[in-house]
Chains A and B, each alone.
Chain A
Amino acid sequence: MSHAGMSPIFGEAKEVEPGRYQAHLTFEMAGDWVILLHAILPGGQKLERQIDVRGVRPN
């Protein structure tokens, strides 16, 4: 969803082993994507991180 107006893709991460989370996302379009990570820590604090994924190629 790094382009204005493009559909965002949502995915919920599940804990696969202690401290390790996994989510499945399908990039529906080639190009550059931005993953915005929202997490709530055990203490109730909110954590937000941005991960840039560049140059996703078409299938």
Chain B
Amino acid sequence: MRIPGLGHLFRWRYARPLLQAPLLIISIVMILHGLFGPTIAPKNLATTLSWLHFRGLLVLVLLCAGNFFCLACPFMLVREAARRFFKPRFDWPRALRNKWLSVVLFVLLLFTYELFDLWSSPWWTAWLILAYFLTVLVVDGFFKHASFCKFVCPIGQFNFVASTISPLEIKVREQQVCTSCKTKDCIRGARDEQSKLVVIQRGCELALFQPRKVGNLDCTFCLDCIQACPHDNVGILSRTPATELMVDGMRSGVGIISRRKDLAVLSILFTFGALLNAFGMVSPIYAVENWLAHVLHISQKAPILGLLFALFLVVEPCVLLGLAAWSARYLTGKRTPLLTIVVRYSYGLVPLGFGIWLAHFGFHFLTGLYTFIPVTQNALASIGWPILGAPKWSLVGLPKNAVNVFEFGFLGLGLLGSLIVNHRLAEDDCRDQPAKAYLPWAVLSILLWISAMWLMSQPMQMRGTLG
């Protein structure tokens, strides 16, 4: 925020809409091209931009900066426009003020991706984007604040978890300034001088009170707190990535993460989902699916996929994390409940999970880096406006050998991050014998890393691309 130009931009009231508008235009183009453009995925903007460029840029921006994609979220721009006409009346139901619904939706999104081969279907991809816009309008049309972002959006939850690794965070500069602050505009919103009931600048919609906010969990980088603070004491500041996973204690709007089973499950899903999503793109999954279909005498895709999802997202995490927790308890001789240990150390898996997402999405992004050029050229030519010339289909991306270096580098960094976080957690939990508490989680991290390395070294297979 001290960077000349950038600081002014982010403090400007219309900074967010300015960043959202281009993405909204691109989203509309993707929907139209997905519904009415070529049916072959590599020739369509909906599939190319969604599954190559958006996902790749998302994880790279999270790695290098922070949750800037939530900041520029086009769905929220439409929501803001709709809220000028329809004011939400209801509070989000108390029973749903957690991550359980979004955990289910996240699994559903991963399942739908595999079931309908979304990467190869411009039509389904366009409908997915449309469905997202409609869901935002319905949820935030009825419910106050940022209910959709905090409790529903599966992409948002992905970003929240991944941004724990980001080097930037929105936080206060000096706690003393907040202590002496009387108005608390960062949470309550800035009020009009004459009429105190009129909010002229909204405070945090996700219930994150800046002086007590820790880390990036649940923060959409919406800039509301920055723009509301009358003391210019809130900014986008640098920090050491992943440190927020190592500390416990009360966090505003989040609570104590070691007691949040929903957040722990989200973190576990984030990590094991990364492995499953990558597994869905390589040759061995064909063999596994065929074997299951043969053994169970099932020919439909949905039940086979359902079984694989149950195996990889429920059975495998339960067994592996349960074993690690049991081993740690056995080695240290403590009587801490297994579930408590699992919840606490599940956050240690997040860096590795992020490394796997980075390796997977980064691979597609970098190997297909330039593909948006011929696809855009083709789209313009097809509407009789060939201003960019004939499509250069030979423009693809970086060579696979070069990308492999990044791929395995991301996995290595992820493992290193998980080992460091788990070590720190073990040191805090078991000061007298941290090595014994640490060992099972280190072994688990290494096992998951080996399976990720094996997955990434498998030949890709273009499954289910023809309907």
Chain A residues with a Cβ under 8 A of chain B: 1-8, 10, 29-34, 36, 50, 52, 54, 58
Tell me whether A29 and B459 are in contact in the complex, defined as CB-CB below 8 angstroms, given that A5-B367, A10-B394 are known contacts. yes
Contacts of A1 in B (CB 8 A): 42
B466 at the interface (CB under 8 A from A): yes
B interface size (C-beta, 8 A): 28
B372, chain A: closest CB distance, angstroms? 10
Chain B residues with a Cβ under 8 A of chain A: 40-42, 44, 47-48, 51-52, 119-120, 283, 286, 364, 367-368, 371, 393-394, 396-397, 459-466
* Inter-chain contact B466/A54, CB cutoff 8 Å: yes
* Inter-chain contact A29/B462, CB cutoff 8 Å: yes
Roughly how many angstroms separate A7 CA and B367 CA in the complex, as a whole number?
A: 8
* Inter-chain contact A4/B463, CB cutoff 8 Å: no
* Residue from the set A3, A4, A29, A30 with the largest chain B CB neighbour count within 10 Å: A4
* Inter-chain contact A31/B462, CB cutoff 8 Å: yes
A to B CB contacts below 8 Å, 28 in the list = A2-B41, A2-B120, A2-B462, A2-B466, A4-B48, A4-B51, A4-B119, A5-B42, A5-B367, A5-B368, A5-B396, A6-B367, A7-B396, A7-B397, A8-B393, A8-B396, A29-B462, A30-B286, A30-B459, A30-B462, A31-B461, A31-B462, A31-B463, A31-B465, A34-B466, A36-B40, A52-B466, A54-B466
B334, chain A: closest CB distance, angstroms? 49
Roughly how many angstroms separate A10 CA and B119 CA in the complex, as a whole number?
A: 22
Given contacts A31-B463, A50-B40, 11 further A-B contacts (CB under 8 A): A2-B120, A4-B41, A4-B44, A4-B119, A5-B364, A7-B367, A7-B396, A10-B394, A31-B465, A52-B466, A58-B461
* Inter-chain contact B42/A2, CB cutoff 8 Å: yes
Contacts of B460 in A (CB 8 A): 29, 31
A-B CB proximity, top 10 nearest: A5-B368, A31-B462, A2-B465, A32-B466, A32-B465, A3-B462, A5-B52, A4-B41, A4-B47, A30-B461
Contacts of B393 in A (CB 8 A): 8, 10
B226, chain A: closest CB distance, angstroms? 36
Q: Which partner residue on chain A sits nearest B40 by CB separation?
A: A34
Contacts of B459 in A (CB 8 A): 29-30, 58
Contacts of A34 in B (CB 8 A): 40, 465-466
Contacts of B367 in A (CB 8 A): 5-7
Q: Out of A5, A10, A33, A50, which one reaches B371, CB within 8 Å?
A: A5
Contacts of B47 in A (CB 8 A): 4
Contacts of A58 in B (CB 8 A): 283, 459, 461
